[in-house]
Structure formats: structure tokens, C-alpha cells
Structure 1
Amino acid sequence: MVIGASAGGIPVLLELAAALPARFPGAILIVQHIGAHRSYLPELLRDSGSNPAVHPTSGQVLERGTLYVAPPDRHMLLVGNHIRLTHDAKENHVRPAIDPLFRSAAIAHGPRVIGTILSGRLDDGTAGLLAIKACGGLAVVQDPEDAQEPGMPRSALDHVACDRVVTRASLADTLVSLMREPAGMAQEIPPPLLEEHRLSVGEPEPMDDLDNIGVPSKIVCPDCSGVLWSLSGKHPPRYRCHTGHAYSLQSLLHAQAARAEDALWKALRVLEEREYLLRSASQDDEAAHIALHSETLKKMIRAK
């Protein structure tokens, strides 16, 4: 089970931990947008419920009945039954991001994966949920009306054929019920999905292999100023640069807005500094002129 949450997600996760039965029959991997800040979420989840919760280490083997929380500033991926932590480029302007986990889980476990999107802004997780569905897994989404921040759930519902729409109150029972159902038939992994996963972990040569899944756009990456490739056949539109940064359309617009605001503040700072320097230069010139005039008057007085 993989869960993605952002703003407004922690209260839902704590209620989920409290409602889950002890030794539930599966592992839960959680990405809560936290950035590089210290996270106490595993401790909070342990205190709320009866199951262990940890920040995993890279290479750790999954165990049933355990909640694994992506550590700060690390993407959390699944490779078989092992967890892989990376410091690869941000996706959707965040690290940890939801899409890399969901994408890797879909590739590793296909129809055995249940993906869940909870409260959050923008649309991280939508592409990952599409990947889970493409590989035969199940999609669960919190009702936007029940979410503190409806953006992520709304995007998921708008673009993914979701299997369940839940509230905070029904989330735990729904997930436990789904985990007890038999998995569907394994499906072939779509080649573009596999290619993007390989790109996100830096396995092929990105500048060559990006051409296999997209075309160069006329837009630069807000994080590194490299060219963004527009990924083919993606709805909603998605973009990726050769250094690994990836964006949904909403996250790209958000990142561009942040970059534009930063540029405006820098421009204002430069203009204010230039004004100060010009005023200083003007005052220095005026002082020098007065000193020269005074010295000339003194010489004239002495001569008389």
C-alpha cells in the first residue's frame, strides 16, 4: 500500500494509524511532503496506533504491519521488496515526491499495489496513481469535500478512474478490506512508464533517452534552466529535464510563479542598490565641488 499526502494530510494519517488493526496484512509506504525539514511523523504514527512506523534505511526489506515514512529530502522507491532512498532531482518541485514512489511500486508489484491520495495542494500523485492503474493496481482517493486541501484529491479524481472515494472516517476500513481481496491479473508494464522510471533513477543516458518518451519543448526547467521535454501522451501534461527534474502542469506553473517572484525581488533589490550608489556618487561630487570652490576662495583671499 502506498499513500501520498501533503498539506492537511497529517491528521488523516494519524487517524489512519489509530484505526488500523495490529499486524494488518500488508506494508504501508507513506510520502508526506516535508522537504528537507526534520520529521517526527514516524513517532506520531507509533504513538497514535498499535503498529511500528519508521523512517526506513536504503535497502531495508518490507515487513507486513509496518508503516514506512519517506525521510526528509529523500525520494522513497520500491525495488522488488526492498526500499531504495535517493537524493535524485526533485519531482513536482518537492523531495520526497509522491509520483516516484507510486511509479516504482506499480512497476515492482503491479496489481498487488493499492495507491491512495490524501489532502494536498496542486497535483503530485496523479501521474503516480495513473501508473498504478496502468499496471493493474487499485486507486483510492480522499473525497475532496472531506479534505483540508482538495487540490490533490480533485486532480486524481479528474484524471484517474478511481476504485474508491473515501472520507477520513472510512479510510482505514476501506484499505483493510481492499488488502484482503485477491489481486487482479498481472499486466504488461507500459514501456514509457518503465523508461521514465529508469530516467528518474538515472540509469540510462537522460539526454538520449528523453527523446524516447517526449519532445523538447520551448520551456526551461525552473530548477536548473535546462530544456524541458514534453512527455508524449500524458494527460494532464507532464515535463522532464535531462538532469531529472519532473513537473506536472500545475507544479510547473507554481514553480515558474515562484521563480518569477524571486526574480522580481532581486530586480527590486538591484534597483534600490543602484539608486543608493547614484545618490552617494552625486553627494560625493557635490562635496568635491564645494571643497574645490572653498580652496579657490582661500587662495584669492591670501593673494589680496
Structure 2
Amino acid sequence: MMRRDVVVIGGSAGSHKALTQVLARLPADLPAAVLVALHMAPGARAALARSLASSCALPVRAAVDGGRLEPGCVQVAVPDRHLIVDEDDVLRLSDGPRQNRVRPAADALFRSAARWCGPRVVGMVLSGSLDDGAAGLAAIVSDGGIGLVQDPAEARFPGMPTAALRVVPDAMTATAFDLGDAVAKMAGNPVIAASRPPTPLIWETDMIAYGASNTADRGQAVGLGCPDCGGGMYLVRTGLAAHYVCHVGHSYSPQSLLAVRDDGIEGAIWTAVSALQEKVMVIEELVSQSEKTGDAVAAAAFRAEAERAGRAATVLQEHVNRSAPAGR
């Protein structure tokens, strides 16, 4: 009989404390494998596993490529590699395309678990900015799994939990401690086998695992260029969730795509500000030359042009300052 024996957890900024609280509530004989993908800096591999192990009754270690799902064990993603579930409960560490500008990404882990484990999965989104994990949690629930979300009011950075609840409104919401208790109660419960996962999910998880590409239904072509490679992007919908993926596998949630577009726009504006300021410097030299030769008309015209360029630079700079978010 199939049982609920896979727990996948994703988080980012502010999630470490919440994760330790979740793990602290799990019993040593938990009949489920636990996989964790946190956004992390290079070099955090050993430190993260050690810090989690100190507050957890379960063994905690860094995931290895070719490892397997192990009930009663916590395996954490390593820096710069997606942690994904593959066929026959095998784990893979993939250097495939970044998702939501990060690797490891919660969405990559969640979607792979949804594809290969279906209703066996409990997905959990913890504190973090933007919306990594939201589309992946929707995929888990769509394939018969269960969604858990840290209460945004408790999360240090509520962006990821809020985004997850927006697309999975029926997900259980609770404090980190209570989420751990919920996992302990759910683990090992019998479940009903799911039907074949949707084609876009199969295609996208294959891209991350194997780099494979095919002409299968990728979603709706939307006429957007991928920020990473310039390739065409497709819109993939899963229930209320939506994300964008290009033909080589780079994937963006709506908020992460908006963030990278904002960065590009800001960069373009600062380039324009710099060009306008340099224009003013050149025109001021022309003003000086005109004054030295006694050409008052030319000097006045150049001075007016410099003032226009200076005002334009000021307007653009003020726009950037007004538009800069306090935090996402």
C-alpha cells in the first residue's frame, strides 16, 4: 500500500530558525524521508547539516547524487545544485538551469517530488522573500499531496509563505512548531495512487534532471525572452499558480521574473543618467569655449541644452529612487 512518506521543505531568508523548529518536533522513528532545499551561500554545505542536526532527533546529512529517499532521515541540498527526486526514489544533485534565479530552488525539488511521488508527498514552504516554492507546492497538491505553509505572521520574511497561500489557499497554515507536529501525524498514512502527471511537469523535470528537450506541450508561448539565455518562454499553469519556463529549462515565478526585469530597467535608467551627466560635462566645455570667443548666443543655447540634460538626468534618478522597493 502506498503511504505518505516523503516530506519536502523549501525556504529562504529567515527560514533556518523555522526549519530547526519543524525538525525538533519530528520523532526519531518518523516513517518518512525529509528533503530540504534552502537558498544558501557557497560553502554552507557542512555547516547547515551540522546546525540542523543539533536540534533534531533524526540523522541529518548533505544529500548526495545517486542517494535514495530514506525514511527517518533528513537530507539537505548542497550549494549550487538542485536537489531533485528521480525515478525509483533516487535523488539527484543537478547543475541544471536555475529556477527563480537560484540553485537549489524549492520549486525544482517540489515539482520533481510531485512528478515521481504524487500523493506520497507533504510539501512545506517556510520563510523567504519573493515566491519560490509557490508553483511547486501547487504541483504537489494537484498531484494528490498535501501543502503546509508557515504562518506569514510568524515568518521573518513572509513573501514565500504569502505567495504559496495565494495559489494554494487551502494549504494548512501554522507556526513552525505546529507544522512539525502535523508532519509527525501525517507521515505513514495510507494514500491512493495518483494518475499520470501532466505533460509540462514531465518535460520540465526532465530538463532539470537530464537536460533533455523535446517538442511536448510546454505550455502557452507568451513572447517573452528568457533573462538567462534569451530563448522564448512558455507560461505553465498549475491550478491557481503560474510560472514561466524557457526551452532549455530556466524557470521563473511571476515575482522573480518581475524582479529581474526591474533590475534590468534600473540598470538601463542608470546608464541613461550616466550618459546625460556626461553630456552635460561636454556641453559645459562648449559653453566655456563660446564665452571665450564672445559668442553669447551660442553660449546661451549650449547652456539651455545642458540644463535640459541635467533636468532629464534628475528626473530619471528620482524615478529610480521612488521605485526602489523597501524589500520583497
TM-score (norm 2): 0.77
1:4 is matched with 10
> When the two structures are aligned, how many residues end up with a matched partner?
282
Residues 161 and 194 of structure 1: CA distance in aligned 2, closer, same or farther (over 3 Å): farther
**Contact preservation (8 Å) 2:25, 2:184:** no
Please report how far the alpha carbon of residue 193 of structure 1 lies from its aligned counterpart in structure 2 after TM superposition.
2.0
SS of residue paired to 1:114: strand
> Match for 1:226 among 231, 250, 253?
231
Closer/same/farther in 2, CA of residues 188 and 214 from structure 1, 3 Å limit: closer
Q: Distance in 1 between matches of 2:253 and 2:188?
A: 33
Which residue number corresponds to residue 297 of structure 1?
Answer: none
Q: For residue 44 of structure 1, report the CA deviation from its aligned partner.
A: 0.3
- Provide, for residues 75-106 of structure 1, a one-character-per-residue CA deviation record: whole Å limited to 9, x for no partner: 01011221101111111111111111111111
Which runs of 5 or more residues in structure 1 are unaligned? 286-304
User: CA separation in 1, counterparts of 2:52 and 2:75?
Assistant: 10
1:252 to 222, 237, 257: 257
Q: Which amino acid aligns with 1:8?
A: G
Query: Shift of residue 32 of structure 1?
Result: 0.7
1:179 and 2:187 matched? yes
SS in 2 for 1:155: helix
Partners in 2 of 1:76 and 1:91 — Cα distance?
A: 12
- Please give the residue correspondences for 1:68-83 in structure 2 after superposition, counting only pairs within 5 Å: 68-79=75-86, 80-83=88-91
Deviation at 1:275, TM superposition (A): 7.5
Deviations 1:40-78 (Å, cap 9, x if unpaired)?
211100122232211111001222221111101110101
Hey, what's the Cα distance between the residues in 1 that align with 2:40 and 2:157?
A: 16
2:220 matches 1:215: yes
1:24 Cα offset (Å)? 2.0
Quick check: 1:115–1:138 contact (8 Å CA) kept in 2?
yes
What amino acid is the match of 1:23? D
Q: Which residue of 1 aligns with 2:73?
A: 66
CA distance in 2, matches of 1:175, 1:111: 14
- C-alpha RMSD of matched pairs (Å): 2.7
Write the distance in 2 (CA, Å) between the matches of 1:266 and 1:34: 31
Q: Structure 2 CA distance, aligned partners of 1:271 and 1:42?
A: 51
Question: Does residue 1:139 correspond to 2:144, yes or no?
Answer: no
How far apart are the structure 1 equivalents of 2:274 and 2:154?
A: 43
Higher mean C-alpha displacement, 180-189 vs 20-29:
180-189
CA change 1:270–1:88 in 2 (3 A) is: farther
Q: Please list, as runs of the form range in 1=range in 2, the aligned pairs for 1:109-124 lying within 5 A after superposition.
A: 109-124=117-132
* Cα offset, 1:36, TM superposition: 3.9
Corresponding position of 1:164: 172
Corresponding residue number in structure 2 for 1:18:
24
For 2:253 and 2:20, locate their aligned partners in 1 and report how far apart those are by CA, in whole Å.
28
Structure possessing the higher radius of gyration over alpha carbons = 1
Listed as ranges, the matches of 1:194-213 within 5 Å are 194-205=202-213, 208-209=215-216, 212-213=217-218
Shift in Å, 1:21? 1.9
Aligned: 1:57 with 2:68? no
Residue 33 of structure 1 pairs with residue 39 of structure 2: yes
Return the alpha-carbon distance in structure 1 between the equivalents of residues 112 and 71 of structure 2: 18
